[in-house]
Amino acid sequence: MSTARRFVPLALALAVAVVPSFGAAAAAQPDGQANHQPEQRRLRILITNDDGWIGPGGSSTPMIVAMRNALVADGHDVTVVAPATNQSGTGTLITHPTVNLANPEPGVWTVTGTPTDSLIVGLDAVFHGNAPDLVVSGINPGGNYSSIANHSGTVGAAIAALENDVPAIAISVDGKTPAQSLALKDTVAAYTSDVVAALARNARGGALLPEGLGLNINYPGTPTVDGTSLTRMDRNSYLRFGFTNTTGAQGQPGTYALSFGGPTGTPAPGSDWSALQAGKVSITPIDADLSANPRGAGRLNFLERVTP
């Protein structure tokens, strides 16, 4: 099934569904009428991230703790399987040959590896043949949108879940500083829990998302937002990775340090970057299929005439 065809039912489900306080009890109706909201569906959820679960009770990684607490408060059965150390920027890296799994506290497992390692170990060992209903990766302090998403461990864990036929959500907050992101942790956790509730209410045949599809959510780094937009990933980037020689001239042997430069372009209409610039939450449907859009690839049909 093509991405375009899968996008339609997701848009219908989320376009009117994601509003504040889905996880909270419904308010009473006028004139004493009962509010016949469908009962909240209790999900089995695996939570991971790329910052790890560090310190007693996750004290040094409060973003994932906020996400876990919000989902538990909504009645879900939540298990954390996260890296034992900070693994930011590891993308979909898989560790070879071994990792260690620990169970430091009830409902929490840590893996001496990457977010993708944690996800795979979680499915193979912790859930052991009884896959969760949903994987939630995050909350990441800092945006994972535009081409930066390709290098994100937060998004990488969601991609690994999709490769294993488990629906997944990656969630990040576009705070410009760690403190700004941290200040929004409870707000973003509540919003994500609302998205999960909306997906559960709009599930088709028990499936939370169309087959093979996940969500990459980026929340603005501001206390107020102007709605939610379904978006695509911007081909440009809000920052550029580079390497600079710290021991000699550029282009010569030496020690090169990672550097961060300015944007590689400007936000395209309808993109995740554009939505965030407008103060909106960006929800980008993603999958593990790296095939190019067939409209752009069509001009390459002549390659089929090249004889091996």
Q: Would you state the pLDDT for residue 171?
A: 98
Edge-first strand order for the sheet with 228-230 is 101-105, 108-111, 77-83, 44-48, 134-141, 168-174, 214-220, 281-286, 228-230
Domains: count for the chain: 1
Q: What is the CATH number of the domain that holds 126?
A: 3.40.1210.10
Mean pLDDT confidence for 123-146: 96
Is residue 306 domain-resident?
no
pLDDT at residue 10 in the model: 53
Instruction: Judge whether 153 lies within some domain.
Output: yes
Residue 298 lies in a domain: no
What confidence score (pLDDT) does residue 298 get?
79
pLDDT reported for residue 297: 81
Judge whether 209 lies within some domain.
yes
Q: Compute the average pLDDT of residues 27-45.
A: 59
pLDDT, residue 38, reads: 55
Q: How high is the pLDDT of residue 28?
A: 36
pTM above the 0.85 mark?
yes
Give the residue numbers spanning the domain of 158: 39-234+267-289
Chain segment 232-249, per-residue pLDDT in tens? 999 999 999 999 999 999
pLDDT of residue 14: 54
More confident of the two residues 39 and 120: 120
Residue 4 lies in a domain: no
pLDDT at residue 5 greater than cutoff 70: no
Strands (E), the chain: 44-48, 77-83, 101-105, 108-111, 134-141, 168-174, 214-220, 228-230, 240-245, 256-261, 281-286
Query: Residue 90 domain-assigned?
Result: yes
Instruction: Give the pLDDT score at 303.
Output: 87
Mean pLDDT of the chain: 89
Query: Is position 260 within any domain?
Result: no
Specify the pLDDT at position 301: 84
- Report the pLDDT value the prediction gives residue 70, as an integer from 0 to 100: 98
**Rounded average pLDDT over 168-183:** 96
pLDDT tens-digit readout, 245-286:
999 999 999 999 999 999 999 999 999 999 999 999 999 999
